[in-house]
């Protein structure tokens, strides 16, 4: 049995959560991508899995009614957030004011990114930041969402567009007490690749008691793969840090070499959105239309449904640390990937997939991207020495200028 074409499957777990007889399990294919496998000996052929797959039904998309450049002013709260901290402020509002539940992505104890939930403000720290890897929805997670909704609890679900689609197709109906927020998504790498990369780096660098792995942040390690020890919500120390294009896993992700196959033909990379609210980086902000604020790590927020608009207005009125500057949606759309079309498959992707079958992910990504990463490292070294060279010249200019003003 085939629920949907393998190259269209997003691994959303809608089919797994739907099956009453537990006949479906997610298993890795030869490339490490999760796909549903049916135990046909126990399958009753009820077709609920087929009807719950977002690839087999027509879902509602909405063109955003409003677009904002947004951020929270609390720099400490934003420190390890990917952009403006919008996911954090939405989550806090739901827990504090709605007494609700927040579903999102975090690491489990084995550093597997998973979709799970929290009802505690203190635990939101674990949900912050970008994870450029597929977060596992898991067997029972969507059922838990449904249980909360049916009991009357307010639920906020934050995920990739395909995860939102999986949830909506699983639920088969809208709920007034559900707000879904999708992330502007570049695509995701199979979880297997990320896990192997983390294990490899920890072994090579002798890293023990790992507490966090980050890709983004409102600090000097933005767009770097960094590993942290210490305490996740307290004092932590960075023990490994590589800029995006000098780190093999991160470079493979950004270049479109190692994404899941379905990501290159994503159904959700379009201006119309699947969710109530869409958040992500406001790339291109201020390039053509003046923006009189800092452009650093500002979020794009689009309101796609009346329910999403009403909810976001509630959040904005409840706090004085959330700044919203209205912008034209066309400004954000000029950065095409993810909002106009899917990420492009890199020309090195066929070589990478060929090597994965022969030598596994770790060797494959290094063989494939060795030249690319080496060139980037050389560029970084050259830029570093150019910067160092400029320091004495700048210092002399300042001294001369001060002397001029001193002696007239």
Please report the beta strands in 3-112, taking only residues with DSSP state E, as ranges in sequence order: 24-28, 34-38, 66-72, 101-107
217 vs 89: CA distance, rounded Å: 16
Cβ atoms of 87 and 280 within 8 Å: the answer is: no
Q: What is the mean pLDDT of residues 298-315?
A: 98
Sorting pLDDT into bands at 50, 70 and 90, what band is 136?
very high
Q: What is the pLDDT of residues 339-348, one digit of tens each?
A: 999 999 999 9
17 vs 7: CA distance, rounded Å: 21
- pTM of the full predicted structure? 0.92
Cβ atoms of 154 and 177 within 8 Å: the answer is: yes
302: three-class secondary structure by DSSP: strand
Q: What is the pLDDT of residues 204-241, one digit of tens each?
A: 999 999 999 999 988 888 999 999 998 766 688 999 99
11 vs 33: CA distance, rounded Å: 8
Angle between helices 191-204 and 361-407 (to 10 degrees): 70
Tell whether the model's pLDDT for residue 404 goes beyond 70. Answer: no
DSSP β-bridge partners for residue 322: 72
305 vs 10: CA distance, rounded Å: 24
Sorting pLDDT into bands at 50, 70 and 90, what band is 380?
confident
Query: Helix/strand/coil (H, E, C) string of 141-179?
Result: HHHHHHHHHHCCCCEEEEECHHHHHHHHHHHCCCCCCEE
123 vs 162: CA distance, rounded Å: 25
Does the CA dihedral 379-382-388-389 come out positive or negative?
A: negative
pLDDT of residue 397: 60
DSSP β-bridge partners for residue 62: 273
Instruction: Return the percentage of the chain with pLDDT > 70, whole number.
Output: 94
Tell whether the model's pLDDT for residue 337 goes beyond 90. Answer: no
Sorting pLDDT into bands at 50, 70 and 90, what band is 127?
very high
Q: What is the mean pLDDT of residues 4-28?
A: 96
Q: What is the pLDDT of residues 68-92, one digit of tens each?
A: 999 999 998 999 998 999 999 999 9
Q: Which tops the pLDDT comparison, 262 or 406? A: 262
Q: How is 55-74 classified by DSSP, letter by letter?
A: TSS----B--SEEEEEEES-
Does the CA dihedral 78-82-84-85 come out positive or negative?
A: negative
36 vs 398: CA distance, rounded Å: 65
φ/ψ (deg, to 5) at 290: -55, 140
Tell whether the model's pLDDT for residue 408 goes beyond 50. Answer: no
Does the CA dihedral 159-108-26-41 come out positive or negative?
A: negative
pLDDT of residue 270: 96
pLDDT of residue 233: 66
16 vs 25: CA distance, rounded Å: 6
CA dihedral 348, 349, 350, 356 (to 10 degrees): 110
274: three-class secondary structure by DSSP: coil
Cβ atoms of 286 and 295 within 8 Å: the answer is: yes
Q: What is the pLDDT of residues 236-261, one digit of tens each?
A: 899 999 999 999 999 999 999 999 99
pLDDT of residue 395: 58
Q: Which tops the pLDDT comparison, 381 or 56? A: 56
- Of 189, 213, 188, which Cα lies nearest the Cα of 200? 213
pLDDT of residue 407: 44
Tell whether the model's pLDDT for residue 375 goes beyond 90. Answer: yes
53 vs 172: CA distance, rounded Å: 11
Tell whether the model's pLDDT for residue 385 goes beyond 80. Answer: no
Q: 382: exposed, middle or buried (C-beta count within 10 Å: 0-12, 13-18, 19+)?
A: exposed
Q: What is the mean pLDDT of residues 269-290?
A: 96
365: three-class secondary structure by DSSP: helix
- Alpha helix (H) residue ranges in 334-360: 349-359
pLDDT of residue 218: 87
Q: What mean pLDDT is reported for the chain?
A: 93
φ/ψ region of 45 (left if φ > 0, alpha if ψ in -120 to 50, else beta) reads left
Cβ atoms of 145 and 156 within 8 Å: the answer is: no
Q: What is the pLDDT of residues 147-160, one digit of tens each?
A: 999 999 999 999 99
Angle between helices 361-407 and 349-359 (to 10 degrees): 130
């Amino acid at each position: 049995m085939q629920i949907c074409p393998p190259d269209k499957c997003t691994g959303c777990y809608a089919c797994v959560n739907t099956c009453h007889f537990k006949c479906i399990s997610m298993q890795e294919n030869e490339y490490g991508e999760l796909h549903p496998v049916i135990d046909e000996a126990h399958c009753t052929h009820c077709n609920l899995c087929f009807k719950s797959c977002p690839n087999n039904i027509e879902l509602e998309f909405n063109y955003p009614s409003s677009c904002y450049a947004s951020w929270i002013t609390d720099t400490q709260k934003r420190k390890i957030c990917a952009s403006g901290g919008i996911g954090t402020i939405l989550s806090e509002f739901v827990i504090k004011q709605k007494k609700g539940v927040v579903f999102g992505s975090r690491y489990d104890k084995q550093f597997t990114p998973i979709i799970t939930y929290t009802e505690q403000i203190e635990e939101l720290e674990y949900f912050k930041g970008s994870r450029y890897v597929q977060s596992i929805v898991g067997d029972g997670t969507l059922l838990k969402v449904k249980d909360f909704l049916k009991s009357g609890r307010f639920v906020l679900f934050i995920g990739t567009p395909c995860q939102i689609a999986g949830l909506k197709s699983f639920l088969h109906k809208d709920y007034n007490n559900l707000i879904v927020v999708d992330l502007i998504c570049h695509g995701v790498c199979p979880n297997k690749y990320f896990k192997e990369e983390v294990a490899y780096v920890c072994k090579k660098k002798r890293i023990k008691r790992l507490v966090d792995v980050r890709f983004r942040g409102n600090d000097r390690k933005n767009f770097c793969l960094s590993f942290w020890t210490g305490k996740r919500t307290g004092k932590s120390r960075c023990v490994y840090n590589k800029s995006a294009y000098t780190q093999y896993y991160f470079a493979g992700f950004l270049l479109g070499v190692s994404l899941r196959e379905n990501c290159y033909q994503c159904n959700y990379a379009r201006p119309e959105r699947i969710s109530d609210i869409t958040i992500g980086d406001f790339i291109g902000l201020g390039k053509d239309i003046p923006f009189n604020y800092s452009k650093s790590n500002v979020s794009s927020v689009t309101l796609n449904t009346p329910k999403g608009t009403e909810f976001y207005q509630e959040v904005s009125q409840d706090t004085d640390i959330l700044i919203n500057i209205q912008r034209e949606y066309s400004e954000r759309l000029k950065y095409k990937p993810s909002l106009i079309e899917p990420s492009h498959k890199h020309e090195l992707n066929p070589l990478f997939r060929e090597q994965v079958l022969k030598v596994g992910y770790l060797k494959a990504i290094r063989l494939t991207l060795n030249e690319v990463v080496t060139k980037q490292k050389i560029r970084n070294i050259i830029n570093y020495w150019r910067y160092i060279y400029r320091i004495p010249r700048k210092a002399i200019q300042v001294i001369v200028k001060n002397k001029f003003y001193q002696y007239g």
